[in-house]
Structure 1
Amino acid sequence: MQIYKVGGAVRDRLLGIPVTDIDRVVVGATTEEMLAQGFRPVGADFPVFLHPKTGEEYALARTERKSGRGYGGFTFHASPDVTLEEDLIRRDLTINAMAEDDQQNLTDPYHGQRDLEARILRHVSPAFAEDPLRVLRVARFAARYAELGFTVALETLALMRQLSESGELQALTAERSWKEISRALMENQPQVFIEVLRACGALKELMPEIDALFGVPQPEAHHPEIDTGAHTLSVLAQAARHKQPLTVRWACLLHDLGKGLTPQEEWPRHIAHEFKGLKLIKAVNERFKAPRDCQELALLVGEYHTHGHRALELKPSTLLELLQSFDIYRRPQRFEEFIAACEMDARGREGLEQRSYPQADYLRGAANAARGVAVQPLLEKGFKGPELGEAIKRERLKALKAYKEAASA
């Protein structure tokens, strides 16, 4: 029995960056031998075990062959005679197909170290094109390592394009797709994920609503970058730069989908794009079964982001409606995330990345003014039921009028 560290643990050590996950492969062992040493089996599809003391994962060396469509369409074979090289060749990228023993002796049959030094993401073998999930994985790695200068090899991009055109991407489950998308959005340069998907034709297959934004112009006065797709990528980049959570990044990605529906004769204006985009945002949310908080914020940002930009001009009654839509009294964090998404949208414009966004503090102040209305005095006056609701609304409107006057003074 021989045990090796493989994949990301080897890759990241050689890159000199912190190693977070350690995967191990076991060569020359049987399931029975692993169980006899106290390892606990956890793999449903192939033999994976947890170490009896550390709880870390150990997988038996295995081969695989394509047996059906999609990410799960593979038959695995694990036995003591499977070599380390045979196990490594089934992996996606050369930089993930290296192994090392406990003395850090490197096994690198597919030249992963050379590609690390050249900053290239390259597939290990033609079998890469058998697994559609690898399109998303490579795009995610491109986003993760973009800051280090990594790019996707042209021949790998060609295989990704082949996969995109094959229809295999449609076989991916919503859960697997979302896992990759959500991880990619939390990388330091998530816009690169979208760029790579677009470059290989996968964006058109997976998120046609976003792909449709490229080539759609916006008024240059508000959007020096003009192209709506380019703007969306810039907004996403700003969200990452400002360390925004996944909810905000997802909303930033989807906020302008309605502009993809504007007839060409109306370009570069996009009247009512906020409302037109809601059905598209809902469709993307449902396609990937995004978590509820991501879905809700994306819809709210899509509908109200222009309200956020015009906050200082809004009438107190409109401002109150906005605050009510976000349920700021019970969900204060969601309104904070809305403000953040609006600010990222404002900054995601060519040459305006450092602009101030006074609307943020103004909206926070308005929310505090509305929340500051005390309910107890109204109860003491005898208001109850629907009448109490109306009385609270009147007092909040009064508070917002006073707030607006004070802010304008």
Structure 2
Amino acid sequence: MQPTRKSLHIAIPSPLKRALLALESAGGTCRIVGGSVRDALLGLKPKDFDVEVYGLDLETIAKTLNPLGRTDLVGKAFAVVKLWTHGEEYDFAIPRRESKSGTGHRGFTIEADANLSEEVALERRDFTINALLYDHSSEEVIDYFGGLEDLERRILRHISPAFKEDPLRVLRGMQFAGRFEMELDDETAKLCREVGPEFWTLAQERIWTEWEKWAQKSKSLSHGMRALEKSGWIRYFPQLNALRNLPQDPEWHPEGDAWTHTLHCLDALIRETDWAELSEAEKTPLAFGVLCHDLGKTRCTRWALKRGAKHWISPGHDTQSIWLAEQFFDSMRSPHEVRDKVMRLVGNHHFLNTVPKGGHSDASLRRLAKRLAPATTHELVYVMIADHRGRPPLVSEAQDERIANFKIRIQELDLESSAPEPVLLGRHLIARGMKPGPEFKPVLDAAYDAQLEGTITDEESATQWLDTYFKGVES
């Protein structure tokens, strides 16, 4: 089949350019392949350049590249030579065939063949948008499978039935859909459903890797979730699946069921905040915090009397969301710092929904900051904004005002990034003649509680509080 060709200039790093020219001088044909080509077509800065080399064996590739930097056949089992030069790492692979030899993501037998045709070599790849070649000499993209059109139409489509041989590709599709605002092709979704039972063969750390990419790199978090739903793989995350068709009060949630609300909230997180300016590490707990904030509704939703009429209500769902979020994370090997933050965020996302007369006290806000740790009040603002703005077309001016005031208050109290640091420390107790031991903890806990209440504000007030505390103990 004759491929489609499209002119495109990609700025190739000079060390890589020298490597390509050296290999071609040795008789090889080099094609840049995969994500760097896709990203360049999307107007993104290409990185992680991967090269497929035709016509040369591994030893010749390594020998040719050796003068240009440090080389290694660490990927020999996968027919790959690695080159480290000028602080960068490049992979040079020989075309290969793969055949299924076991279960899961790694159950393959690989057969390298330097003389394989480009089209056949590309058939082992996952999606058409990742099977685009780049000829650096003619500055052309080479497309055998319609990847250019799919990229233009934002369709995520498999290349061949071999797609089913690697179940991890379903989750890769989820994060690609979010990153590039793509929809899953109908036939690809069918293959995803057929390979569903292979989910249980995936290593938990690989599952987390794809979810983390979804959280950190998505331009549209909801696109990723729609792809997960269409693939049928949402069933393997039952905490999310249970939100589908879960009714909500149409007066408060005109957008529809709890899953639809969650998708709107994910859109609002990106649309209504400075999401694009955040680092990947900052995005991770926020994306998962919004995704998981209403998981508890599956345990609490009921048809009951409220304000003199029957409504769908879900009292206490914020608390129930905590352990359901933990269950969700148990299906993958997520870092504890992420899951701990998410559990605190979902458990407190309704903080502003009940405001006492006169507003929240300073002590209440300090206690919230302590309760949220290791998450922060600043992070909670993102979740609250997303939750509120995820009910189109409904917007509450009162809630907007509450959130705005909350942001001012936590800034004034210096609570944006952490709870207050304890003023009274062990050294103060030692200075009072106490010996370090178990009796320190109740004193320090009581002192910190007094600090949250505002009784202790500095070392002088801490000393005064300590005098009163010891007098009370002695009496």
1:336 to 2:378 alignment: yes
Q: 1:387 to 1:115 in 2, by over 3 A?
A: closer
Deviation at 1:31, TM superposition (A): 1.9
8 Å Cα contact 2:204/2:331 also seen in 1: yes
Q: Structure 2 matches for 1:77-116, cutoff 5 A?
A: 77-103=111-137, 104-116=139-151
Q: Partners in 2 of 1:151 and 1:278 — Cα distance?
A: 31
Q: 1:67 to 1:224 in 2, by over 3 A?
A: same
Deviation at 1:324, TM superposition (A): 2.7
Show the counterpart of 2:295. 257
Deviation at 1:81, TM superposition (A): 2.8
Identity of aligned residues (%): 29
Q: 1:399 to 1:216 in 2, by over 3 A?
A: farther
1:371 to 2:371 alignment: no
Q: 1:293 to 1:30 in 2, by over 3 A?
A: same
Aligned AA (1:371): P
8 Å Cα contact 2:119/2:144 also seen in 1: yes
TM-score, normalised by the number of residues in structure 1: 0.85
Show the counterpart of 1:407. none
1:268-325 superposed Cα distances (whole Å, 9 cap, x missing partner): 2112222323221111122112112211111111222212443565566654543332
Q: 1:188 to 1:26 in 2, by over 3 A?
A: same
Q: Which has the larger radius of gyration?
A: 2
1:16-35 superposed Cα distances (whole Å, 9 cap, x missing partner): 44323321111122222123
Show the counterpart of 1:398. 454
Q: Partners in 1 of 2:43 and 2:367 — Cα distance?
A: 52
Q: 1:19 to 1:235 in 2, by over 3 A?
A: same
8 Å Cα contact 2:175/2:213 also seen in 1: yes
1:367-406 superposed Cα distances (whole Å, 9 cap, x missing partner): 5597388548x95995973335423422431369xxxxxx
1:213-253 superposed Cα distances (whole Å, 9 cap, x missing partner): 12112334443324211121122222233215111111111
> What is the CA RMSD across the aligned residues, in angstroms?
3.0
TM-score, normalised by the number of residues in structure 2: 0.74
Show the counterpart of 2:180. 145
Deviation at 1:335, TM superposition (A): 3.5
1:215 to 2:239 alignment: no
SS of 1:284's equivalent? helix
Aligned AA (2:209): K
Q: Partners in 2 of 1:322 and 1:310 — Cα distance?
A: 14
Show the counterpart of 1:280. 324
8 Å Cα contact 1:29/1:79 also seen in 2: no
Q: Partners in 2 of 1:334 and 1:40 — Cα distance?
A: 45
SS of 1:362's equivalent? helix
Show the counterpart of 1:203. 234
Aligned length: 390
1:41 to 2:73 alignment: yes
Show the counterpart of 1:234. 264
Q: Partners in 2 of 1:200 and 1:294 — Cα distance?
A: 26
Deviation at 1:183, TM superposition (A): 0.8
Show the counterpart of 2:22. none
Q: 1:198 to 1:388 in 2, by over 3 A?
A: closer
Specify every segment of 5 or more residues in structure 2 that has no aligned partner in the other structure, as ranges: 1-27, 305-310, 435-439, 457-475
Q: Partners in 1 of 2:334 and 2:175 — Cα distance?
A: 18
Deviates more, 1:61-70 or 1:154-163: 154-163
Q: Partners in 1 of 2:396 and 2:31 — Cα distance?
A: 46
Q: 1:296 to 1:45 in 2, by over 3 A?
A: farther
Aligned AA (1:43): G
Show the counterpart of 1:60. 94
Deviation at 1:346, TM superposition (A): 2.3
Q: 1:359 to 1:30 in 2, by over 3 A?
A: same
Q: 1:336 to 1:44 in 2, by over 3 A?
A: farther
Q: Partners in 2 of 1:342 and 1:213 — Cα distance?
A: 19
Q: Structure 2 matches for 1:161-176, cutoff 5 A?
A: 161-164=193-196, 167-176=197-206
Q: Partners in 1 of 2:42 and 2:316 — Cα distance?
A: 48
Q: Partners in 1 of 2:52 and 2:205 — Cα distance?
A: 26
Aligned AA (1:100): Y
Q: 1:336 to 1:263 in 2, by over 3 A?
A: closer
Q: Partners in 2 of 1:35 and 1:116 — Cα distance?
A: 34
Show the counterpart of 1:349. 391
* Structure with the higher fraction of residues in strand conformation: 2
Q: Partners in 2 of 1:231 and 1:211 — Cα distance?
A: 13
Q: Partners in 2 of 1:372 and 1:340 — Cα distance?
A: 24
Aligned AA (1:348): G
Aligned AA (1:137): R
Show the counterpart of 1:387. 443
Aligned AA (1:163): V
SS of 1:72's equivalent? coil
8 Å Cα contact 1:301/1:342 also seen in 2: no
Deviation at 1:179, TM superposition (A): 1.0
Q: 1:359 to 1:218 in 2, by over 3 A?
A: farther
Q: Partners in 1 of 2:152 and 2:30 — Cα distance?
A: 26
Q: Partners in 2 of 1:272 and 1:40 — Cα distance?
A: 57
Aligned AA (1:76): I
Q: Structure 2 matches for 1:123-138, cutoff 5 A?
A: 123-138=158-173
Q: Partners in 2 of 1:347 and 1:151 — Cα distance?
A: 24
